[in-house]
Structures are given as C-alpha cells and as structure tokens.
Amino acid sequence: MGLNKRAKIDSLISLSRLRSIQVFTGLLFLYLIFISFEIPMVLRSGLGLESTEAESTIPIFSHPIMKAENDDQLSRPKENETMVFRAQGREMGEFKNISGMNFDENAFNSVSKDEFSELHKVVRDAFALGNKWMEDLKSGKMQRELLNRTTLNRTEEPCPTSVVLSGDDLIGRGKIMVIPCGLSLGSHITLVGTPRQAHTNKESKAGIRKDDGGSKVVSQFLMELQGLRAVDGEAPPRILHLNPRLEGDWSGHSVIELNTCYRMQWGTSQRCQGWRSRPDEETGGTVLHGIYDAIYLHVRTFDVHFVKCEKWIRDDSGSEESKTTWWLKRLIGRTKKVTVDWPFPFAQNKLFVLTLITGLEGYHINVDGRHIVSFPYRPGFTLEDATGLFINGDIDVHSIVAAALPTSHPSAAPREHLDMSLKWKSPSLPSQPVDLFIGVLSAGNHFAERMAVRKSWMQYELIKSANVVTRFFLAVHGRKEVNVELMKEADYFGDIVMVPYMDNYDLVVLKTIAICDYGVHTVAAKHIMKCDDDTFVRVDAVMREANKQSGRSFYIGNINYYHNPLRHGKWAVTYEEWPEEVYPPYANGPGYILSSDIAQYVASKFKQNKLRVSKLLTFFNNSLYVCAWVFAWFEWKVKAVTVDWSVYPRPVPVLFKMEDVSMGMWVENFNSSRPVEYVHSLKFCQFGCVEGYYTSHYQSPRQMACLWEKLQLHGIPRCCNIR
C-alpha cells in the first residue's frame, strides 16, 4: 500500500515538473518568435539597412544627409503644418539654481561587472556624493567648515623681483620654474644651457624626420611660458612655445618654431628656417629698445624695429661666395652694405646664453647677444598669466634667471575674475515661452570663462530682452572652496544651474540632459542650443538658422558623418561601450541646435529610464537580461534549486560618456518615429575661428572680448586669432 502511494506521489511530481518544462519551453518559443521579429526591425532602423520601398515612403530629410545652408529648392513649411513647439507648463519657480532633473537610483543599481554597469555605478556614486555636498552647501555646513580651516596667520605668496634657479634645482622641481606673479612689460628671462648630442629616437612624433632605418635622429628642446594658474585639472595654456630643432625636423634643416596653445588647440606656428623675414611681413612690432637699455645701460630710450626671423647660414646654402669674389665686389662698388652671415644660433655640445625680453608688441629672443627671433603677442594670452617656465628636451640647463618681475600680486582667486556689477546680471525669466534657450556647459572653476561670456555675447539685445535665455550648467566641484564661491556667483548673477552630481569628464552627458530638461520644462523654449563656455555664439545668426526650420524637427550643427570611434587616447571608446565601427551622424559638441520636441524626447526618456544610445546595443543588453532571468527561473522551478535573485541583473538605461555622440544617437532614435532634418554647416566651428562663423570654439576669455569688440566695431564677424 505504501509503495503504491509513493509511486503516485512520484508520478504527480514528475507530471508537475513536466508541466513546468512545457511552460518553460512555451515561453522560450515565444521569446524566439519575438527575436525573429525584433532583429529585422533593429537592423533596419539601427543600422540603416532600410529597404527601397521603405525609403520611398519617408521624406528625404528624415535621413541624415548633408543639407545646404541656403538651398532655395527646399520646400518651406506650410501655414497649416503642425508646429513642433508646444508650450510647456513651467515646473519650477522664477529662478532655480538647482536642476530639476530626477535620478532614479534603483534603475542604476546594477551589479553586473561589465564596463557599462561600471559607468552607471559612477553615475550613481556621483549623484549620491553630489547631493550630499549640495545639502551641505544649502545648510551652510560647508562654509563653516572652510571658515574653521582658514588660519589667521596665512600670508600671501610674495612677489620677488627676480627668481634664480640652477640646473639641478630645475630638475628637482619637475623642470618647471614658478614665476609667482607672472611677467610684465620689460621682464626678461636668461637661460644658460648646452644642447645635447643628437640621438636616435624610435618613438613616433609629428614633425620629426625619419632616416632610412625607420628611427629618427633628434636634437631639440623646448622652452615654454605656461599659465599654471589658469584652471586646475586642465593642461596649462602655452602662452609662448619656443622649440629650437637643431636636428630632426621634417624639413631636414635646423628650425626654430614658435606657437601658442589653449586647451590643447595649437595656433598657427611661426617657423624660422634661416631666411630673414620679408619687409612686408608683420614683424614683432616696434619695441622700446630703451626698456632693454634701462635694465642694463640706463640710457635714453629710442625705437628699434625687430623682424620676426633673422637670417642664418642654412645647411643647403651651397651658394656662398669665395673671399676673392667678395673682395672684388667690394672694390668695384657692387655692394653698399657689409653683411655678416651667422650660423644657426644653437650647436650640439656648445654653451649658449638665451635671453627672452617682453616688449611692447611681443617677445624678443636673443642668443649670445644677437637678436634671433621675435614673436608677436597673440589675443587671449597676457604676460601676467605666464606664471611658469617649463624647459624640456635635449638640453643640459646650467642656470635660469628671471628678472624685472612685477612686485604686485595678480590674485588668481575666483572672486578676482568676477565683476560684480549689476549690468552683468541676467534678466529674470519671462512668463511667456521664449524663442531660444542656450545651455552652456561649464566647470566649477571656470570663473573667468563664464565672466567672459557674460561680458561678450550674452550682451546681445536678444538676450537682454529675454527673447533668448542663457544659463550655465555645472556640477558639484571636487574642491569645497570652489563650490562656496560658485554658489555666491550663482546667487548674484542668477544664470547658473547646478546639476547635483560630482563633476566628472565622463559624465558631461548628464549636463546635456539637464539642458534639455530645463529648456522644455522651465523656459518652454521653441529651440534649444547647447554650447561650451569657451564658445563664442553669434546669437542673431543662430536664431536665423533655427527659424529657417520652424515647424519641423531639426538638428543643426557641424555634423560628422560616418565617423569611426577612437579606440585610444582621451576620447577612447571600448568595444564594450560601442561595438559598431561607425557612429550615427552627430554634431560637434561646441555648438548645436535642437527643436524642442527632440529635447522633450531626451528629457522624458531619461526620466522614464528608457534613454537608449543604440537600438542594437539596447536589444542585446535586454536580451541578456531576459535570458539570465529565464535561466534563474528554470533553476528555481524545475530543478528546485535555491536561487539568490539579487545577483541577477536588472535592465538599465544605456548611457554613453561622449555627450555629442550621445545626442546624435538619441536624434537617430527619434528619427525612426518622426522625420528629422539634419542641417550641416561648417560655420559652427569646431577648432578655433573661421570668417563668417556662427560659433567659434576654443576662445580664451580675452579672445571672447576681442570677438565681441570686433563684432560691435565692424558689424560683421571677424576672427581675433588671425594676424
């Protein structure tokens, strides 16, 4: 009897497991059917493999093709066409200096160990710490902590009239000589050194000539004036870059190259190759030679004209006259002037004395008492910013002397960069919708950059009349004293929006999402523009370009097509982050414009945790998630195994660290449901400035002022970095 009952129980258990297996098989079959339908849709919309029939039913501008800026053949929007813009109810008050962008911590709480989950963990931790610091700021706790930390006996850094270093001292200080208070007119730096013997260099480097064996024979060094106090955490600007190349230049000759660099953007180099500058060439300007004399000889001042490049004997000259011919021409009067040809001023294993003098119009470099080269000052770089001298390369430094330095201290404190005048304060937000909202990405310690924007293109009448609204978007800075000054700046000027996360270069995309959210929910703008704090914006030109597309979904900027991901360097992207070989079309980050419906799409999808960068990537991400949970259910239900559900992943929104590429991906996703016009223009300048620009990137604070001054003076856009 007992055996029969046990047999019945076993049969019931077997039947139950069989039914579970059947249910599991049915679910798996349905999932496979779902995959069979989903893959073709993903491939068509995500990889651009639409069929010919599908293409014929979609307007041409729904595809990211290049569109001319002034194409008369383009049809204009009809009067009864549905407008893209829809007025939004304002969700915040008159002024709110903290972004209303919500963050769902549970959506990012993935425990997967791949690199995507690592990025989301960074986001989660950045928001957690950022919110804590924001609470400390609002409560005053951070201010009190800094006040208690301040010592009463703190003294200001002295401003010596001269600084002297030996070669050993320079090496011990990382090859940098600090000039505490910068330079001033008449300051001079004397370097005593010896160039080293040329050597082979296997490393690949631009501008270096290779020999037949693939290696390079190199003898060169550099001397740079750097702005060490410009911005913490960024490469200092090279206010003057002097690079004598004794051997190894791509030209095969000895060359002296001079240049400037701001935020990794090099200017146009000045190369002196042994020919004297032509008389019609712009020189280093007229310098009061008495500045030099007053230092050494104390005599009366007089004017002397310096040329950019002096002449020296080139290696390929081959046309030198014999002494007999030279004397013969002298006797018969063929020459009126005795000329002396000098060799290249630097020689391997030979001691030299180089003197750099700051004149009225530029830098003047003498070697062994003879003028060699002059380099004009460039807009955006000033003498007081030159707080460091960096020397590197194939040179043995014996001593450095910097003299005639300023005795007053040009403080680098944030408050010194801010002009707390009423005329720079932003107008209040209007009660009605605006035509354009411009969100400016900035970092906490970019006080000078923000002030330069306020004093230049934010003075457009369109902005002062509140037809256009501009706000800076910042995250919490890693230094508490910067945050304290930042909140004072925000309270006074009323143009700063804080996104409550700890600032991180890989998380700039969060500021872009906050710009979209603010543009559609706070100011209810028809068009939204994103730019950087070193971008000069011609607001009137940008408005005209946006109004041309009024009533349509559009994406305007300097658009990259078929751009390949970089796998190495600062902007490197791993295959796990982006497995495809080509990015979707995207506009360069320094400046682009969106219609409000695209911004609404980005903001709403982020709040719903559905913001995707790639349909294909999201599909596989979610497929792995489904498979993992189906496997866990099978282990628990069929095999009766205890399952720790916490170790299985949950679907997470897929973020991408490059904000401009991310926007291109989101626009592509939006384009699959509604046609988007991609408008490409090179006048949204990515590198520097071009004539007739709409936006100009990599502009220092002084270049911002220069561009605005030229715009007011001439009425047309003219660049300041062209001399």
- Higher-scoring residue by pLDDT: 576, 210: 576
Are 97 and 498 spatial neighbours (Cβ–Cβ below 8 Å)?
Answer: yes
- Higher-scoring residue by pLDDT: 665, 22: 665
How would DSSP label each residue in 44-110?
A: HHHHT---HHHHHTS-GGGS-----TT-TTSPPPPTTSPPS-------S-S--SB------GGGG--
Asked if the model's pLDDT at residue 324 lies above 90, the reply is no
Q: Identity (one letter) of the amino acid at 717? A: P
pLDDT in tens, 479-488: 888 888 888 8
Sign of CA dihedral 542, 543, 545, 550: positive
**397: which residues sit within 8 A by CB, 6+ positions away?**
167, 170, 171, 191, 192, 193, 391
Return the SS3 of 462: helix
Q: Which residue do the tokens 């000052």 mark? A: 377
For 709, phi then psi, to 5°, come to: -65, -45
Sign of CA dihedral 265, 267, 272, 275: positive
Instruction: Give the confidence band of 81 by pLDDT, cuts at 50, 70, 90.
Output: very low
Q: Please write down the HEC assignment for all residues of 140-199.
A: CHHHHHHHHHCCCCCCCCCCCCCEEEEHHHHHHCCCEEECCCCCCCCCEEEEEEEECCCE
Q: How many helices (H) and strands (E) does the chain have?
A: 17, 25
Q: How many angstroms separate the Cα of 468 from the Cα of each of 493, 495, 538?
A: 16, 13, 12
Instruction: Give the confidence band of 688 by pLDDT, cuts at 50, 70, 90.
Output: confident
Q: What angle do CA 483, 419, 494 make, to 5 degrees?
A: 55
- What pLDDT score was predicted for residue 93? 39
- What pLDDT score was predicted for residue 211? 52
* Other residues' Cβ atoms within 10 Å of the Cβ of residue 14: 10
What residues pair up with 309 in beta bridges, in sequence order? Answer: 373
pLDDT (mean) for 103-120:
53
pLDDT in tens, 130-151: 777 777 777 777 777 777 765 4
- DSSP state for residue 9 in the 8-state scheme: H
Are 303 and 278 spatial neighbours (Cβ–Cβ below 8 Å)?
Answer: no
Q: How much is the mean pLDDT over the chain?
A: 74
- What pLDDT score was predicted for residue 581? 86
pLDDT (mean) for 329-357:
77
* Other residues' Cβ atoms within 10 Å of the Cβ of residue 490: 18
Q: Identity (one letter) of the amino acid at 159? A: C
Q: Which residue do the tokens 């995309």 mark? A: 509
Residue 485 and residue 443: Cα distance in Å, rounded?
13
- What pLDDT score was predicted for residue 78? 38
Residue 616 and residue 43: Cα distance in Å, rounded?
7
Instruction: Give the confidence band of 344 by pLDDT, cuts at 50, 70, 90.
Output: very high
- Higher-scoring residue by pLDDT: 332, 707: 707
Are 508 and 659 spatial neighbours (Cβ–Cβ below 8 Å)?
Answer: yes
Strands 238-247 and 255-262: antiparallel
- Least confident range from 112-121, 372-381, 391-400: namely 112-121
3-state helix, strand, coil in the chain (%, to 5): 35, 20, 45
pLDDT in tens, 284-315: 443 333 333 333 333 333 334 567 888 888 76
Q: Which residue do the tokens 């599908």 mark? A: 54
How much of the chain exceeds pLDDT 90, in percent? 32
- What pLDDT score was predicted for residue 492? 92
Are 310 and 276 spatial neighbours (Cβ–Cβ below 8 Å)?
Answer: yes
Q: Which helix (H) or strand (E) holds 222?
A: strand 216-226
The pTM of the whole model exceeds 0.75:
no
Residue 258 and residue 256: Cα distance in Å, rounded?
7
Chain center to CA of 622? 33
Nearest to 341 by CA among 368, 364, 321: 321
pLDDT in tens, 649-667: 444 445 677 888 989 999 9
- Least confident range from 27-31, 502-506, 634-638: namely 634-638
Q: Euclidean distance between the first and final Cα of the chain, in Å? A: 107
How would DSSP label each residue in 185-200?
A: TT-EEEEEEEEPPPEE
Residue 516: exposure state from Cβ atoms within 10 A (0-12, 13-18, ≥19): buried
Are 527 and 438 spatial neighbours (Cβ–Cβ below 8 Å)?
Answer: no
What the chain holds in terms of domains, given with CATH numbers, is 58-68+89-139+415-614+654-714 (3.90.550.10), 163-315+329-403 (2.60.120.200)
Q: Which residue do the tokens 């220092």 mark? A: 700
Q: Which residue do the tokens 């937000």 mark? A: 429
Chain center to CA of 273? 33
